[in-house]
Amino acid sequence: MVHNTTQFGQKGVGIVVDLIPADFLASLPEIETARMPQGTLFWAQGRLYQVIETGSGGFHKARLWRQSEATDVALIPGSLPAKYLPVIKRGRLLPVYRSRLELTADDQPSCFVFPTETLALDAAYLDVALIQSPGAYVRNQGHDPAFAVTDGVHVFRLYYYRQSLHGRKTDLSSLGVRPLSFVPRPHTEGPAYWRLLPAWTESLPGVDITQEATPVTAVRSGGEEAFSQAPVQPSAS
């Protein structure tokens, strides 16, 4: 498989994305960004964007996903936003899920183990943002160092992590001492679009000390709320 290594930055936002399968990027449909509805997630110029506004008079804008307005771009050349913002004319659409059930495996929750808490949470938020039907959101998975995509009744995907926000090793012993209805898999076996996340990494530096999970604010799928940013409170030191 061929991979690309891309490094970029914009307006003080420095991001490095590596090990992105070139064949995966080529498989994403590329269209004019002016045609994308609000909330659409797309890949352009080595970055992950979300359409945030599709107003009249060509007032179409996008923003780096889960970043500040300082990263806004215009989507229509010659429009008012294009007079003061960079313009992105075309982008590659990310795949979407018609139903949250598509996150499961063999009618059971799918489960992935990530190197870091940041990457696990970003992957969970991105999965929810790509579900077209409403009702799914991200929450903590009890006291485990994990997040879950759920509708409040059923869990569809679990995101365990080995290292907390403060670089402390988490306790994943619960994955090995009880019967599980799911099979934990490495995060590298998950959806290829996770590799578009700025926090993506395939390795884990040495860590120590056990750390409990960090509370999160629910982010639901469907509608504008599905694409909003929910703050993560730092783990206690």
DSSP 82-114: GGTS-B--EEEEPP-BSSGGGGSBTTB-EEEEE
Instruction: Tell me the pLDDT tens digit for each residue of 33-65.
Output: 999 999 999 999 999 999 999 988 889 999 999
pTM: 0.79
- What's the longest Cα–Cα distance across the chain? 61
Instruction: Tell me the pLDDT tens digit for each residue of 189-215.
Output: 999 999 999 999 987 654 433 444 445
**DSSP result, 108-163:** B-EEEEES-HHHHHHHHHHHHHTBSSS--EEEE-TTSSEEEEE-SS-EEEEEEESB
Over the Cα atoms of the chain, what is R_g? 18
In single-letter form, the type of residue at position 5 comes to T
Domain ranges of the chain: 3-93, 100-227
The burial of 134, by beta-carbon neighbours within 10 Å (0-12 exposed, 13-18 middle, 19 or more buried), is given as: middle
Percent of the chain predicted with pLDDT > 90: 66
* Cα–Cα distance measured from residue 161 to residue 91, given in angstroms and rounded to the nearest whole number: 31
